[in-house]
Amino acid sequence: MTQPPAGAPAGAPADAVCLGETMAVLRPDGPGGLAGAARFACGVGGAESNVACLLARAGHRVRWVSRLGADGLGDRVLAELAAHGVDVSAVRRDPHRPTGVYFRTAGSGGPGPGDGPAEVLYHRAGSAASAMSPDTVDRATAYSGRVLHLSGITAALSDSCRALLTELTGPRPGRPLLSFDVNHRPALWRGGDPAVPAALARRCDLVFVGADEAREAWGVTDPGRLRLLLPEPAVLVVKDSGRDATAYTADGEFRVPAPSVAVTDPVGAGDAFAAGFLSATLRGLPVPLRLRHGHLTAAAVLTAAGDFAEPPARALADRLAALDDETWARLRLAPGWTADGGREPGPGPVPGPETRKG
């Protein structure tokens, strides 16, 4: 693994600030579901910090803002994010509330033992991050980057977290570009108002939403109708599973198909897509190339186990993103493709039991 870039020095301007909860992640140390697991491997995971780590590994200066318990799991989260090059100086520790925890399996969706949908079990109620509020998060720190990345997960954690996002997304001078991933989690919004994430999205500049999320949260099945529901963001990116992604902008509609990917673990792919798109946005690349970089970063996570994977080297990603349309359509990505010494993956079929769009 390459050395991570140095994080932004404390107080220094960042390229991106990511705000949200990160938890300890416990995964069965072997195949099978949660019920039969004898041992668990511990890692860390959180939508916004996944984006932060990928952006940092891609060479950007990134700051993560959150709260953690004053416990060993909080220590682990801080250490792992810092190891990826993320500035964690703005993270606050809560002596009265714990670091959140969740359990999950990989769930590739394939036909073999242990395949199928991932099992996810959250233990995050009353966590340190759920106590974030306008009073506990400094707005100047949240606004200290060129981009502030948020997600609907934070709004679902508590009333005070929802108030914080409402405060941060308000129109005011000096506000950075606001990126918002709807990240609809039915388990978190059970009994909640699905209009809340839509209202927050309308206050942001760049919005990511999955077509499946839009169906579940708002009953919208057509991407064009989704743009009518969310007309305010300057850029609306609609991800249609592994088939394609469409960006709606003032300059028109841009659709880019996803390459075919041999999926190892689907968890974290949406965060990776956002990170790839944001990285290309920070570099000032055209919208179609931003979409391709989103697909490529998602493919890096899809072809590796866990919430996080090393993104493709910038030179490799740039070469693949610049392929002509015909060659891009024939692109096949298998596990290990990002570590292939910069050699472009071939257009032939991917090995493995399952090939699907990523």
> pLDDT tens digits for 46-57?
999 999 999 999
At 281 the three-state DSSP class reads helix
Q: How far is CA 345 from CA 54, 266, 315, 323, 334, in A?
A: 21, 20, 13, 12, 8
Tokens of 129: 């991050």
Mean predicted lDDT score pLDDT of the chain: 86
**Residue whose token pair is 């990523």:** 358
DSSP letters along 235-250, please? EEEEEETTTEEEEEET
Local confidence band at 5 (pLDDT 50, 70, 90 cut-offs): very low
Local confidence band at 357 (pLDDT 50, 70, 90 cut-offs): very low
pTM for this predicted structure? 0.88
Is-contact 250 234, C-beta < 8 A? yes
**Residue whose token pair is 């938890």:** 23
CA distance 327 to 257: 12
Residue 37 has pLDDT above 80, yes or no: yes
Q: How far is CA 354 from CA 158, 262, 337, 349, 351, in A?
A: 39, 6, 16, 10, 8
> pLDDT tens digits for 271-282?
999 999 999 999
The answer to whether residue 271 is catalytic is yes
Share of residues in the chain with pLDDT > 90 (%): 63
Determine the pLDDT at residue 184: 80
Residue 95 has pLDDT above 80, yes or no: yes
Q: How far is CA 284 from CA 181, 281, 314, 316, in A?
A: 20, 5, 14, 18
Residue 155 has pLDDT above 60, yes or no: yes
Among the listed residues 211, 213, 253, 207, the one whose alpha carbon sits nearest the alpha carbon of residue 357: 211
Looking at the DSSP bridge assignments, the partners of residue 209 are 238
Q: How far is CA 34 from the centre of its chain?
A: 24
237 CB neighbour count, 10 Å cutoff: 25
> pLDDT tens digits for 75-87?
999 999 999 999 9
Catalytic residue among 87, 271, 307, 325: 271
CA distance 153 to 1: 30
Local confidence band at 350 (pLDDT 50, 70, 90 cut-offs): very low
Residue 17 has pLDDT above 90, yes or no: yes
Residue 115 has pLDDT above 80, yes or no: no
Residue 44 has pLDDT above 80, yes or no: yes
What DSSP element (H or E) covers 54?
A: helix 47-57
Residue type, 194: P
Residue 351 has pLDDT above 60, yes or no: no
Among the listed residues 292, 256, 270, 153, the one whose alpha carbon sits nearest the alpha carbon of residue 209: 270
Looking at the DSSP bridge assignments, the partners of residue 338 are none
158's CB contacts (< 8 A; 6+ apart) are: 130, 131, 132
- Per-residue pLDDT averaged across 235-252, rounded? 93
172 CB neighbour count, 10 Å cutoff: 10
Determine the pLDDT at residue 1: 37
Determine the pLDDT at residue 30: 79
Determine the pLDDT at residue 304: 87
Q: How far is CA 194 from the centre of its chain?
A: 20
Residue 190 has pLDDT above 80, yes or no: no
